[in-house]
Amino acid sequence: MTRRERAAAQPVGTRRAAREFAFRVLFEAGQGGLAFQQVYMRAEGAMLSGDDTYPHLNPEALAFAHELVFGYQQHEAAINDLLQRTIRGWSFEQMAQTDLNVLRLAVFEMIHTREAHPPVIESAVRIARKFGGDDSGRFVNGVLGGLSRSLEASSAPQEEATPQQEVTEAER
């Protein structure tokens, strides 16, 4: 066994590898019209049996991939609605499915996990560049960057008016 083959056989524990695994599951489920559970179980089995199509994830990374896939599935309608409101001028049918699935996973992670937005966006851009078209990285970065700013603005604490300020403003 060569050094490269030994390295490929070692479990990967990175979140980026888990995100890529989850992306592949979402993409395959969408393209094949299959259930997430069915595709996830097949992909996990292939990965565990040594299929080099998928990086060999360690248990922690595999658990994170599971969280991404089934977390997205649980919040699919809300995430798709948010994306449709965020992406102007494009319908899901017009978009590259690679870009759409990268966005779906990243939006789930940005909204439903405690992960900071910059590493989520960076990983999403890398996956989009790897699997998408020439402009995929820029497109994904633009959408997620705008969404991140919007989410941060909406979660910023609003200064509450004191009763004195309310009276003053009402008198005007």
Q: Are residues 66 and 88 in the same domain?
A: no
pTM of the model: 0.81
Angle at 144 between CA 139 and CA 149, to 5 degrees: 130
For residue 6, tell me if it sits in a domain.
Answer: yes
- Residue 69: what pLDDT? 97
| Structure tokens that stand for 77 in this block | 């309608």
- Residue 157: what pLDDT? 61
Low-confidence stretches of the chain (pLDDT beneath 70)? 1-12, 156-172
Yes or no: say if 43 and 54 are a contact pair by the CB < 8 Å rule.
Answer: yes
- Residue 58: what pLDDT? 92
Length of the chain: 172
Helix, coil or strand: residue 57 = strand
Helix, coil or strand: residue 133 = coil
Model pLDDT for residues 58-101, shown as the tens digit of each residue: 999 999 999 999 999 999 999 999 999 999 888 888 899 999 99
Yes or no: say if 115 and 122 are a contact pair by the CB < 8 Å rule.
Answer: no
Q: Are residues 87 and 99 in the same domain?
A: yes
For residue 10, tell me if it sits in a domain.
Answer: yes
Residues spanned by the domain of 20:
1-74
Q: Are residues 24 and 59 in the same domain?
A: yes
